[in-house]
């Protein structure tokens, strides 16, 4: 899947010309695709048997989804939880920037570039961003699961592993900032991610990163007259469609409003 997404991203996002140099670009893209797909495959294959044996609950909804059970209520529940956490953490990050400026402490450094700029390069860049976003989300979901599972095995106690998980990631992500607001934000962020992994599992964590990156990689604005407002609306539509699927699936075929509740 990762290899297909990577190849499709290169096809739609690059400007192709009928020259021999195109073949070298193809080989370079193929090498990157094979490396990324191979790395994620090795990470998953190395991790999955041990997680299934020692911590099987984290893979239940993930396994059901990839077994083809797209309408499973448990799959919908975990996707819905991931959507809520993704939106919540995005709002929390925006709040941290605003709060830092209001109380007069240094703000967290943030540089616009990479994926954020790619979505501004027109239709080809936008499609490339949409296709690469699941790969980024899967990488971070597997990486955080790997770290939490490793700490869980080494430290034996779940609460100790959770505390170490939050401490390690907060320190790693906050090293480049001297703002106390940044450190507090990262501690809260990885505390929520740790709870999400422990309570809902890998699928919910992947969904959280999917929504989180959709909100950050697509520049959304309330000013519809801005030249990039259409790009932001595309990200919002994708996020809402994803959330609607998760909510509808989590109902398990039941109506949203039951008649007997309305009669009461």
Give the separation between CA 211 and CA 62, rounded to whole angstroms.
Answer: 17
Task: Return the structure tokens found at 248.
Answer: 């509808």
What mean pLDDT comes out for the span 76-93? 92
Which helix (H) or strand (E) segment holds residue 5: the answer is helix 2-13
Give me the residue spans of the domains in the chain: 56-253
| pTM score of the predicted model | 0.84
Give the separation between CA 155 and CA 66, rounded to whole angstroms.
Answer: 31
62 burial (CB, 10 Å; 0-12 / 13-18 / 19+) is buried
Q: What is the pLDDT of residue 21?
A: 74
pLDDT tens-digit series, residues 95-129:
887 777 777 666 555 554 455 666 676 677 777 77
Helical segments of 200-257, H only? 202-217, 229-250
pLDDT band at residue 80 under the 50/70/90 scheme: very high
Q: What is the pLDDT of residue 224?
A: 79
The angle at the Cα of 114, spanning 236 to 24, to the nearest 5 degrees, equals 115
Nearest Cα to Cα of residue 203 among 155, 141, 156: 141
């Amino acid at each position: 899947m990762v290899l297909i997404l990577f190849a499709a991203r290169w096809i739609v996002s690059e400007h192709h010309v009928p020259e021999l140099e195109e073949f070298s670009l193809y080989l370079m893209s193929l090498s990157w695709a094979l490396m990324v797909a191979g790395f994620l495959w090795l990470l998953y294959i190395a991790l999955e048997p041990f997680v299934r044996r020692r911590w099987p609950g984290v893979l239940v909804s993930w396994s059901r989804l990839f077994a083809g059970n797209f309408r499973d209520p448990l799959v919908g529940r975990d996707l819905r939880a991931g959507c809520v956490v993704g939106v919540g953490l995005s709002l929390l990050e925006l709040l941290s920037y605003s709060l830092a400026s209001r109380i007069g402490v240094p703000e967290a450094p943030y540089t616009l570039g990479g994926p954020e700029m790619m979505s501004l390069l027109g239709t080809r860049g936008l499609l490339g961003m949409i296709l690469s976003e699941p790969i980024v989300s899967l990488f971070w979901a597997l990486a955080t699961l790997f770290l939490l599972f490793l700490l869980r095995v080494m430290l034996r106690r779940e609460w100790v592993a959770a505390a170490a998980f939050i401490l390690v990631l907060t320190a790693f992500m906050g090293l480049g900032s001297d703002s106390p607001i940044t450190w507090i934000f990262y501690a809260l962020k990885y505390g929520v991610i740790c709870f999400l992994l422990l309570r809902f599992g890998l699928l919910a964590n992947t969904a959280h990163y999917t929504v989180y990156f959709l909100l950050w990689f697509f520049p959304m604005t309330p000013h519809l007259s801005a030249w990039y407002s259409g790009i932001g609306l595309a990200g919002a539509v994708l996020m809402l469609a994803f959330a609607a699927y998760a909510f509808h699936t989590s109902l398990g075929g039941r109506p949203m409003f039951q008649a007997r509740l309305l009669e009461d």
